[in-house]
Amino acid sequence: MTAHTSILIHPDGRAEWVADKTVAEKALGNYGVGRAWLTDAALGLRISMSDCALVMPEEFPANPFAVKVLAHVAGFDPADAQPTRGPVVLWGFDGRNEWDSSRPLTERERVVITEALAVAGCTTG
């Protein structure tokens, strides 16, 4: 089994398991990449989205699929979630990795994310 570091969630509901977070982040566009923790307590998972996604709605469509996936993984109601726009990357974080701070997702994380993708109605390929 490939050691995936991340899942890339597109605004149309397509989701892709990706072995290299930096490859997934290329789908975010030509602007800067913003990164954040999934939750304050979830120090093992981070989110990447274009720095300009929320201020350029004409270029970055709403991503309700990512909102649902992230809310499910974090354990809260999607109605309470922050909006997402454009492609969104959810990835495993390792602060000891000096190259790109990523790590392979654990089996448990993959199970929870797979469940969240199904709940959100995403298609994987």
| Structural domain count of the chain | 1
Low-confidence ranges of the chain (pLDDT < 50): none
88 phi, psi to nearest 5 deg: -130, 140
Q: What's the CA angle centered on 26, arms 58 and 92, to 5 degrees?
A: 110
> Would residue 55 count as lying in a domain?
yes
Nearest to 91 by CA among 111, 72, 106, 71: 106
> Would residue 1 count as lying in a domain?
no
> Would residue 86 count as lying in a domain?
yes
CA 104 vs. chain centroid, Å, equals 14
Q: Residue 64: its pLDDT value, please?
A: 97
> Would residue 99 count as lying in a domain?
yes
Domain that holds residue 26: 6-124
Q: Residue 1: its pLDDT value, please?
A: 55
Q: Residue 95: its pLDDT value, please?
A: 82
> Would residue 119 count as lying in a domain?
yes
Q: Residue 112: its pLDDT value, please?
A: 96
Q: Residue 98: its pLDDT value, please?
A: 80
The widest CA-to-CA distance across the chain, in whole angstroms, is 38
